Amino acid sequence: MRVGVYLSALCYFYALHGGAFNINSKELQINEEIRDKELRLIDSDGSQLGIVPIEKALKLASEKNLDLVKIAPQTKPVVCKIMDYGKFRFEQSKREKEAKKNQRTISLKEIRLSLNIDTHDFNTKLKHSSKFIAAGNKVKVSIRFKGREMGHPELGYDIMNRFAEQCSAFANVEKPPKLDGRNMLMFLAPKHGK
């Protein structure tokens, strides 16, 4: 409950000062869709016009050839702003596309080792993990214990530590080796300087 009050107060503050405010993916109520009798009105330049009846707010908006948009429906009275809604939606979708374009996804790649791994196989797995990390991905290193191998988890820790030591030039250990049932897991992440 308190979070909702805090969020609506924050949206009200931004709207008062003409700043940016976050609009959810759902559509806002505009013009005749607003059913409240009284509302706190904010002009298109960001100045506060006070609490006015809905009729007066709609008249002011139509005089300026702009829309009346409800931006904070949770507050009492609700907060509405006079703005060009079509232009606002266009600019918002443009910002979202730009943010998506600059967003970089990090995926998790897995490298599987075994307790009796040979040197050549170990080096091949090391080379693969360096490629994954160079591409900006995180690497999950796992060892599956079979049968009587469960009696020697220290061998798994040795292999994991050796692997982490070899990867230390290009990766950091995000989560150290940990035994989880029959699997031992370790997570590597790219170094921040890269």
Query: In terms of residue numbers, what domain contains 142?
Result: 108-190
- End of a domain among 41, 74, 102? 102
Asked if 164 and 145 sit in the same domain, the reply is: yes
Asked if 71 and 144 sit in the same domain, the reply is: no
Checking if the pLDDT of 187 tops 90, the result is yes
Asked if 89 and 13 sit in the same domain, the reply is: yes
Strand partners, 25: none
Asked if 180 and 92 sit in the same domain, the reply is: no
Which CATH number belongs to the domain containing residue 157 in this structure? 3.30.110.10
Which CATH number belongs to the domain containing residue 51 in this structure? 3.10.20.80
Asked if 135 and 161 sit in the same domain, the reply is: yes
What pLDDT is stored for residue 168 in this prediction?
A: 87
| Average pLDDT over the chain, rounded to an integer | 81
What pLDDT is stored for residue 20 in this prediction?
A: 46
Checking if the pLDDT of 186 tops 50, the result is yes
Domain count, the chain: 2
Checking if the pLDDT of 156 tops 50, the result is yes
Distance CA 108, CA 175 (A): 13
Distance CA 55, CA 45 (A): 20
What pLDDT is stored for residue 89 in this prediction?
A: 86
Asked if 117 and 142 sit in the same domain, the reply is: yes
What pLDDT is stored for residue 2 in this prediction?
A: 43
- 109 vs 26, higher pLDDT: 109
- End of a domain among 102, 137, 166? 102
pLDDT category, 60, cuts 50, 70, 90? confident
What pLDDT is stored for residue 46 in this prediction?
A: 80
pLDDT category, 139, cuts 50, 70, 90? very high
Asked if 38 and 15 sit in the same domain, the reply is: yes
Question: What's the average model confidence in pLDDT over 20-34?
Answer: 62
Asked if 9 and 92 sit in the same domain, the reply is: yes
- End of a domain among 72, 102, 132? 102
Asked if 113 and 42 sit in the same domain, the reply is: no
Percent of the chain topping pLDDT 70:
85
Q: Is the pTM for the entire model greater than 0.85?
A: no
Residues 6 or more apart in contact with residue 12 via CB below 8 angstroms: 40, 72, 75, 79
Residue 183 has, within 13 A of its CA and on its CB side, a CA count of 9
